[in-house]
Amino acid sequence: MTIYTNTPYDKLTVGMEAEIKRLCRTEDFIIFANSSGNHNPAHLPHEDYDGDGVPDEAVAPSMWVASLISAVLGNQLPGPGTLYKSQTLRFLGRTRDGDELTAKIRLTAKEEGRIARFDTWIETSDGRRIVEGEAEVIAPERCFTFDGDDLPGLTVRRHVHFDRLLELAEPLDPIPTAVAVPEEENALAGALLAAKHTLIKPILVGDRKKIARVAKALDADLTNYEIIDVPDHDQAAAEAVRLVHEGRAKAIMKGHLHTNQLLHHVVKRDGGLRTARRISHVFIMDVPGLDHLLMVTDAAINIAPTLDEKVDITQNAIDLAIALGIQKPKVGILSAVETVDPRIPSTIDAAVLSKMADRGQIKGGIVDGPLAMDNAVDVEAAKTKGIRSLVAGHADILVVPNMEAGNMLAKELSFVAHAEAAGVVMGAMCPIILNSRADNDKARLASCAVAALYHDWRKRP
């Protein structure tokens, strides 16, 4: 609990001092940009905002730095109830992400009307002064306290990892994609948006009249798109699969039909898109605050996978991660605990999968388990439990014990941690793009980018 207590005017004495320390973070710059409306790219994370070919490091906004002075006045001295009358500022230097700043004040005079004057300055950790000036405030009349924990917290919703995927996919040729039943606005708009970004070349499979009505509502021109008129949803799904067999489509995108309807034709033994691998779903998640993509599998297809099925589920996710540029994916096999317990079958599966990876039966990644969710993604949690592992605290892929656990985990990340989620089905003859009606444009584009990158990776020798 953070309790702030003020010093009323009659208790102030010339010469009194106060200070606070603050670590300078890029997230502060983003929050300042949103609250102030100052979107100057010099203060925001960019690779090269001025176009000179040299990566640019964001510089802390000067007025954000100066605002730390108000934090000392408002929290420490005189503290809660203090009101500004004036503040002069002289900026002597710049600061960047990772710098520790100390804002300091010293009372220099008291005047009538509860006026208090302060010298104010801010220093870096090496004593370099970057801001100085004088403040004039109205000090509080009486003493009281304030609970700082009452202030709501903020989460910065940045999805930089999806931006990287879109950049990686941008130079690739658009992947011919059979869009099954784009007969609803979100379904058609998602396909057309991906086409606009040259991620896919859509072949629209569904009821021509319904697709035309949706296009009219979206004010979209379909002149340059192939439409295959199939009024029945089940037949449209079958047609999308047939296009893959004919070589006209290299991916399938789910439109306005049930996932089961589409997958029914994908998994058919005769005429489907089966391979030697078990088909599985992978969520690719861009979680704010996490410094890498996080993949969750399987949260949508395999309800209670066997050990053999988990081998394929794990290998599918590793292959996809490598296609997305993760050279040696770290795979955490999740359970409720991080030790093998015969009473919890998923811990035994996790241990076997880990050993199979050690023996080369699962290739391309570093696999460890069982791991609980906390020590799979949080280094401190892993250290607390005494877990020493290349995966613990650093997992790129989370393999869940069953679909229920995976679905809950993915939705918690989306709706509680504000993650964006792309979704792709793996293990078939081609990637299958699964979008939800709740997905926004960024998530839809990311799903298509993932499919395009995987398709390109598979073509490599």
Q: Which two three-digit tokens encode residue 331? A: 């795979």
In a domain, 173, yes or no: no
Distance of CA 169 to the CA centre of its chain: 18
Distance between CA atoms of residues 419 and 287, nearest Å: 4
For 43-93, the pLDDT digits (tens) are 887 766 667 767 678 899 999 999 999 999 999 999 999 999 999 999 999
Domain that holds residue 400: 276-427
Q: Is pLDDT larger for residue 148 or for residue 343?
A: 343
- Contact predicate 21/100, CB 8 Å: yes
> How much of the chain exceeds pLDDT 70, in percent?
97
* DSSP-derived secondary structure for 130-179: EEEEEEEEE--SS--EEEGGGSPP------HHHHHHHHHHTTSPPEEEEE
In a domain, 360, yes or no: yes
Q: Is the dihedral angle over the CA atoms 41, 47, 50, 56 positive or is it negative? A: positive
Residue ending a domain, choose from 94, 117, 150 = 150
The predicted model gives 30-35 an average pLDDT of 89
Q: Which two three-digit tokens encode residue 125? A: 């950790």
pLDDT at 86: 97
C-alpha distances out from residue 213 to 97, 191, 283, Å = 51, 16, 32
User: Beta 145-147 vs 3-5: how paired, if at all?
Assistant: antiparallel
**Cα angle: 315, vertex 341, 394; to 5 degrees:** 45
pLDDT at 53: 67
CATH of the domain at 137: 3.10.129.10
SS3 at position 290: coil
Domain count, the chain: 2
User: Is omega for the bond preceding 370 within 30 degrees of 0, making it cis?
Assistant: yes
In a domain, 271, yes or no: no
Residue 334's pLDDT band, with cuts at 50, 70 and 90, is very high
In a domain, 27, yes or no: yes
pLDDT at 288: 85
- pLDDT at residue 237 tops 70: yes
- What backbone torsions phi and psi does residue 215 show, to the nearest 5 degrees? -60, -40
Residue 261's pLDDT band, with cuts at 50, 70 and 90, is very high
Could you tell me which of 438, 445, 403, 440 has the C-alpha nearest to residue 424? 445
C-alpha distances out from residue 268 to 18, 351, 433, Å = 73, 32, 18
In a domain, 432, yes or no: no
Please indicate, yes or no, whether the overall pTM of this predicted structure exceeds 0.85: no
Angle at which helices 185-196 and 208-218 cross, to 10°: 70
- Contact predicate 340/303, CB 8 Å: no
pLDDT at 418: 85
pLDDT at 310: 97
In a domain, 126, yes or no: yes
Q: Which two three-digit tokens encode residue 363? A: 């290739």
Query: Residue 167 CB: number of other CB atoms within 10 A?
Result: 11
Distance between CA atoms of residues 104 and 127, nearest Å: 12
Which string of b and e fits 77-104 if b means at least 16 CB within 10 Å? bbbbbbeeeebebeeeeebebebebbbb
CATH of the domain at 416: 3.40.718.10
Residue 105's pLDDT band, with cuts at 50, 70 and 90, is very high
How deeply is 168 buried, as exposed, middle or buried, from its count of CB atoms within 10 A (0-12, 13-18, 19+)?
middle
Residue ending a domain, choose from 96, 131, 150 = 150
* Residue type present at position 75: N
Distance between CA atoms of residues 349 and 83, nearest Å: 62
Distance between CA atoms of residues 90 and 121, nearest Å: 9
The predicted model gives 384-397 an average pLDDT of 91
- pLDDT at residue 423 tops 70: yes
For 304-330, the pLDDT digits (tens) are 999 999 999 999 999 999 999 999 999
Distance between CA atoms of residues 297 and 425, nearest Å: 10
* Residue type present at position 109: A
SS3 at position 124: strand
Q: Which of 130-139, 285-294, 327-336 is predicted least confidently?
A: 285-294
Distance between CA atoms of residues 454 and 431, nearest Å: 8
In a domain, 51, yes or no: yes
* Residue whose token pair is 């990776």: 457
In a domain, 99, yes or no: yes
Distance between CA atoms of residues 128 and 52, nearest Å: 29
Residue ending a domain, choose from 150, 183, 207 = 150
**Cα angle: 307, vertex 309, 315; to 5 degrees:** 105
The predicted model gives 386-391 an average pLDDT of 89
